[in-house]
Structure 1
Amino acid sequence: MLKNLEQLILSGNFKEAEALYHEMDFQQFDDEIIVSAYDNRNILYYTFLHYLLMKEESAKLHNLAFTLFVHALTPIEGAYHSALYHAQRAIELTNEQDVGDLENLLFIYGVPDQVVSDEIALETCHKILALEPSNEIAKSLLKKLLRRKK
């Protein structure tokens, strides 16, 4: 199925790729998009995700777009800024109640482009800890941020 989805996307045949997407388990789709994008480093994978998002916006699709930008498409100028947009939309769509979505924001806090401010990172740590008090990622970053403020 990987080659078929890959061929459909790379040929711009989004309607057929969409039909295949609806037949697949989302995790399988996610995995195939990421693997194919790593292999090809082609912006058409994002264009296809954008096509799907315009039809049916979901936190899952925004998270996949986020992953695409922070892993497979990082060489593209503005990739981290695009990832930030998708992280923020996923957070909005889940009403700031999904720890994984909030952690994505903390992940890109640490990238060289500094697309997330210290203030947003601090606020995000507090939101995560309110939902999951034992979250080690948020606790560790919170300590670093508080030391910086002193």
Structure 2
Amino acid sequence: MQHLIKKHVLNGEFDLVRQLMSETDFMEFEEAYISSAHEVESMMFYTCILDMIKYEESSEMHDLAFLLLVYPLSEYEGALDSAYYHADASIKLTDGKEVKSLLQMLLLHAIPTPVISDKKAFDIAKQILKLDPNNNVARNVLKDTAKRMDNVVVDINELHQRNAR
């Protein structure tokens, strides 16, 4: 399947990719699609997903776009910001009730140059823990971001003393 995906995507035969996806278990398709994109690293893989989203927008397609942008295409300028768009769309389409979609946002916080703030990561971690109280990723993010947010709390008295000088 991987060979067919690669061939159809690179030839711009997106309708054949869509057909292949509909005939296959989605998880199997997703794995083959990402593997194909790793081999070639062409923006055509992203273009194909956007074309498929035009036909039928779903959280699964946004999740696939997210995976594509954070793994094989992450070195392209703006890829991680685009990944944010897809993670956000997936969250909206699932009404914030899918842990997988929410965890994508936390991944965008864990990278060397975070795409989301500590506050947003903190809020998302809380949302995940409401859905899955034992989620260790969310627990760790909650602890780490809470510590950092406390570290940036400014002492009002200290500010007042600086202004008085």
Q: TM-score range by the shorter chain?
A: over 0.9
Deviation (angstroms), 1:41: 0.3
Corresponding residue number in structure 2 for 1:146: 146
Larger Rg: 2
Corresponding residue number in structure 2 for 1:127: 127
Identity of aligned residues (%): 35
Tell me the distance in 2 between the aligned counterparts of 1:121 and 1:79: 19
Superposed CA RMSD in Å reads 1.0
1:45-64 equivalences under 5 Å are 45-64=45-64
- Note if contact 2:69-2:83 (Cα within 8 Å) is conserved in structure 1: yes
Corresponding residue number in structure 1 for 2:77: 77
2:99 corresponds to 1:99:
yes
TM-score by length of 2: 0.87
- Note if contact 1:80-1:113 (Cα within 8 Å) is conserved in structure 2: no
- Note if contact 1:59-1:91 (Cα within 8 Å) is conserved in structure 2: yes
Tell me the distance in 1 between the aligned counterparts of 2:21 and 2:144: 41
1:29-40 equivalences under 5 Å are 29-40=29-40
Tell me the distance in 1 between the aligned counterparts of 2:19 and 2:142: 44
TM-score by length of 1: 0.96
Deviation (angstroms), 1:113: 3.0
Cα deviation per residue 1:37-58 (whole Å; 9 max; x = unaligned)?
A: 0000001011111111011001
- Unaligned segments of structure 1, at least 5 residues: none
- Unaligned segments of structure 2, at least 5 residues: 151-165
